[in-house]
Amino acid sequence: MILLSIDIGSTYTKGAMFRLNGEKLEYLDRAVCPTTIADLKIGFDWIKKKLDPKKTAEQIFFTSSAKGGLAISAIGVVPDLTLMAAKSAALSAGGKVVSVHAYKLTGEHLAELLKKKPDIILLAGGTDGGNESYLLHNAELLCHLPSMVNCDKLPTIVFAGNVALKDVICHRLSEAGFDVHPAPNLLPKIDQMEPEGAREKIRNVFLRTIVFGKGLDAIQNEIGSEPMPTPLAVLLLVEAIHNELPDFGDFMLLDMGGATTDVYSAGGKLDAEARVIMRGLAEPIIKRTVEGDLGMRVSASTAVDSIGDTLSEIMDENQRSSFSAFIGKLESVPEYLPIDPEEIHFDRCLASACIHHAMQRHAGTWRRVFTAEGEAFVQQGKDLRQISKIVGSGGFLSAMSDFVPIVIENNRPSEIISLNPRNYTYLRDYNYILPLLGAVASSYPKQAARCAIENLLLVEQGGTPNSL
């Protein structure tokens, strides 16, 4: 059986052909073209014709992150609990969290929401039967948002808070003009996180939002299936590798694109060590974070604003003006690929800084404290120090055969210790097919997982194919 998988990204549209024969999935060919923003079907059709001119594919998968992922604002009560659950649901659904708000909303928070222009507001807070006052206050304040917006486009609201308030809050927000979708409580009990219901609602909003007016509706009608958010497809592949091929071990996947840098981790140390005090909810075995301000093309100028201090540590001061001109070029022509040696160096500096910050944000930390029993550490987040493999994917990481991501030494205060991987093997998705295999993993998880591993190269061994 011939399978075709096509991904419509923010900068490029990619496709790959595979042959499925029982338990074996074989990679055949790949094609890429610039994403056709005005009508995404044009690029989709070009890839389809290029790879499958005789229309031999029996099954077609397609994914999309043409907007760089849906922008989501998360509103909760306690930052370490509800907001962590909200971010987990948003990120695993393929969105990017552009702002988070805790406790009671204020006028300043509404102003920030207007500035961030989220596609979705994820309204959470309170365990089932627990706190009600914060949720009621926040819902009432959100009702003022429509009068502050100068256009017809309002964010969709996904309500995933205290179930006792579901009917009254959804009704009130609907009256105010919002499209509201109730979901199960993200945090029904104080120590129980259940993001699946909210994740499904967010995915449904994704399908309606990204399809409308972008040509994906025509693609959907043609092939008879809905697009999957690209980050969700990659998450499915990470889960498939972890579940179906346990001998591969714990790993981290870096997917760096033009709009975002996504980090996935499978495994890691989940229990506390001696003298370590855990804080917050338990981290999931499979975790994803997305950094909407860290991208190589569409978000390049935003990335420079976020990581300027790190760039200054790895770039000569006399190169600043040339670097600024390079970033301006990327803004105007996102599909630009540097040829000049200086610009190639700038691209590598940008990639290094984006990866450094994305990994630091993904991994947990230890904060040194002193108790009556002596020195101890407060851990927040996931301990990834023992992860032995990092996989690089995305346009830049797939293309660069001599680039190995590292965590850049910086001036982080000594009482804060990052729990990032220490010693690892770096593997490269040299054909840039992992996102395409992610869609296939939704139907053929074991075959897609094995095909993914077979198509990784060990950078340290000069491109020797990896095997289990």
pLDDT in tens, 314-335: 877 788 888 888 988 888 888 7
Report the alpha-carbon distance of residue 26 to residue 314 in Å, rounded. 41
Looking at the fold, whether 267 and 411 belong to one and the same domain comes out as yes
Using CA atoms, how far apart are residues 146 and 149, in angstroms rounded to an integer? Answer: 5
290 and 310 share one domain: yes
Classify residue 104: in a domain, yes or no. Answer: yes
Co-location of 177 and 138 in the same domain: yes
Domain boundary among 64, 97, 113: 64
468 is a domain residue: no
Residues 410 and 442 in one domain: yes
CA 79 to CA 160: how far, in whole Å?
A: 15
Question: Are 310 and 423 in the same domain?
Answer: yes
What is residue 366's predicted lDDT score, i.e. its pLDDT? 86
Residues 54 and 74 in one domain: no
User: At residue 40, does pLDDT exceed 50?
Assistant: yes
Tally of CB atoms within 10 A around 57: 18
Residue 223 lies in a domain: no
What DSSP line would sit under 62-122, residue for residue? EEE-TTSS-EEEEE-SSIIIIIHHHHHHHHHTT-EEEEEE-SS--HHHHHHHHHH--SEEE
Total-model pTM: 0.77
Domain-embedded: residue 227: no
Q: What's the confidence (pLDDT) of residue 409?
A: 58
Q: Which of 64, 87, 110 is the last residue of a domain?
A: 64
| pLDDT for residue 215 is more than 50 | yes
Average pLDDT of the residues in 4-31:
93
Angle at CA of residue 124, ends 122 and 128, nearest 5°? 145
DSSP sequence for 358-372? HHHHHS-EEEEEEET
Do residues 450 and 366 share a domain?
Answer: yes
Summarised one tens digit per residue, pLDDT across range 224-267 is: 887 888 888 999 999 999 999 999 999 999 999 887 888 999 99
d(CA 170, CA 97): 22
Q: Which domain holds residue 281?
A: 233-459
Q: Are residues 315 and 188 located together in one domain of the fold? A: no
What is the rounded distance in angstroms from the CA atom of residue 312 to the CA atom of residue 297? 19
**Look-up of token digits 């697009």:** 227
Q: Which CATH number does the domain housing residue 180 bear? A: 3.40.50.280
Please check whether residue 465 lies inside any domain of the structure: no
Question: Which runs of consecutive H residues, i.e. helices, occur in 286-406?
Answer: 300-314, 320-332, 341-362, 395-399
Domain count, the chain: 3
